[in-house]
Amino acid sequence: MPGFAENMDFGKEIIGQEKISIHSESIASEKHPESNEDAFFELSDKRIAGVLDGMGGHADGREAAQTALESLKNRFDKMPTNLSLDEQTKFISDTILEAQKSLRDKCRAQDSNMGTTLALASIWKDKNGERKLIAANVGDSRVYLYRAGKLTQITEDDSVLKGIQNPSERKRYNELLNNITNLTELDSTDLKYARTYFKMRHRIDQYLGMKEDDKNRKDITPSILVPNIIPIDLRTGDRIIICTDGISDNLTDREMEGIIKTNQNGNDLVGKLVSESQTRSKSEHLRAKRDDMTVVAMEVN
């Protein structure tokens, strides 16, 4: 299973009627308050939501995110009910690839290099009440799962860390970079390339709109975008956090976890995650990054 969820306890839980609540907030960077290059969507009836982070300059980044958003929503609106887990997973993968095609066609037509990341969460349920979270991403937007007081990153960024072949070592690097608050921590670890990876953490090798010759990964067929898709079991009370890097770059995973613990109301939660990220972005902190900030919270009640 790709991603960072392998050590979680994902015992099955069978339930009857459930309520899925979705809350979201998005703000533009102070560097360009007139143009938010992030985008998000919520389709409550389909139990799916996601975020996008446009790239390529203010106008192009916004257009990239909106183009992909429109493609995704149009196809998810038509997603059939009562799909099997495999069928829904394939539908999501095909929908992401269709968004890639739509955006790539526009890039060619406009001779543009614009692109966007994507992270989404879909809740699948079968006729017997078994539920799964299907998390997917392209780039460095993320899906997290909060369960029993612990926050876990489910998706894995398409970053330089994917070049680390040993999964446990890659996970250790990821946890270090997600929680670093002082450069001395990079020098005190036995992970000898920590400082290098920290400097390169914003480089991604997959995004919607990427050129067909952009692929450098050697573990998959070159020139083909491959969405990261991870299905895991869900439990009542689980909270799903979907965010762009304006949130996860500014806040550590531990800080996000603490905010979730102390904010039970969904609207309060997304508001606090954004406001704390915004406050951090204006500081001299090591993690400070002025950026668009978007977060969606889903809860299984």
Look up the CATH number of the domain holding residue 34: 3.60.40.10
Instruction: Verify that 168 and 40 share a domain, yes or no.
Output: no
Instruction: Verify that 78 and 151 share a domain, yes or no.
Output: yes
Domain boundary among 172, 201, 230: 201
Q: Say what the pLDDT of residue 60 is.
A: 92
Within-domain flag for 7: no
- CA-to-CA distance for 278 and 294, rounded, in angstroms? 11
Domain boundary among 201, 232, 267: 201
For the record, the structure tokens of 30 come out as: 């102070």
The pLDDT of residue 246 is above 90: yes
Domain boundary among 170, 201, 232: 201
Within-domain flag for 11: no
**Across the chain, what does the average pLDDT equal?**
91
Q: Say what the pLDDT of residue 2 is.
A: 56
Q: Which of these, 277, 235, 279, 236, lies nearest to 256 by C-alpha position?
A: 277
Q: Say what the pLDDT of residue 14 is.
A: 45
% the chain with pLDDT above 90: 81
Tell me which of 9-13, 239-243, 271-275 is least confident: 9-13
Q: Say what the pLDDT of residue 245 is.
A: 98
Instruction: Verify that 149 and 232 share a domain, yes or no.
Output: yes
Within-domain flag for 10: no
Q: Say what the pLDDT of residue 20 is.
A: 87
% the chain with pLDDT above 70: 90
Instruction: Verify that 256 and 279 share a domain, yes or no.
Output: yes
- CA-to-CA distance for 48 and 62, rounded, in angstroms? 22
3-state helix, strand, coil in the chain (%, to 5): 35, 25, 40
For the record, the structure tokens of 238 come out as: 């689980």
**Which is more confidently placed, 193 or 224?**
193
Q: Which domain holds residue 167?
A: 160-201
**246 Cβ contact partners less than 8 Å away, ≥ 6 residues apart:** 29, 38, 53, 277, 281, 289, 291, 292, 293, 294
Q: How many structural domains compose the chain?
A: 2
Q: Say what the pLDDT of residue 47 is.
A: 95
The pLDDT of residue 202 is above 60: yes
Instruction: Verify that 133 and 189 share a domain, yes or no.
Output: no
Q: Residues 9-28: what's their mean pLDDT?
A: 73
**Which is more confidently placed, 15 or 115?**
115
Instruction: Verify that 185 and 254 share a domain, yes or no.
Output: no
Confidence of residue 187 (pLDDT cuts 50, 70, 90): confident
pTM as predicted:
0.92
Instruction: Verify that 165 and 153 share a domain, yes or no.
Output: no
Q: What is the pLDDT of residues 206-228, one digit of tens each?
A: 999 998 654 454 554 445 899 99
Within-domain flag for 9: no
Within-domain flag for 281: yes
Confidence of residue 150 (pLDDT cuts 50, 70, 90): very high
Instruction: Verify that 172 and 126 share a domain, yes or no.
Output: no
Within-domain flag for 67: yes
**Which is more confidently placed, 4 or 254?**
254
For the record, the structure tokens of 283 come out as: 């500081």
Instruction: Verify that 153 and 173 share a domain, yes or no.
Output: no
Within-domain flag for 270: yes
Instruction: Verify that 190 and 214 share a domain, yes or no.
Output: no
Instruction: Verify that 91 and 128 share a domain, yes or no.
Output: yes
Instruction: Verify that 193 and 222 share a domain, yes or no.
Output: no
Q: Residues 167-172: what's their mean pLDDT?
A: 95
Within-domain flag for 289: yes
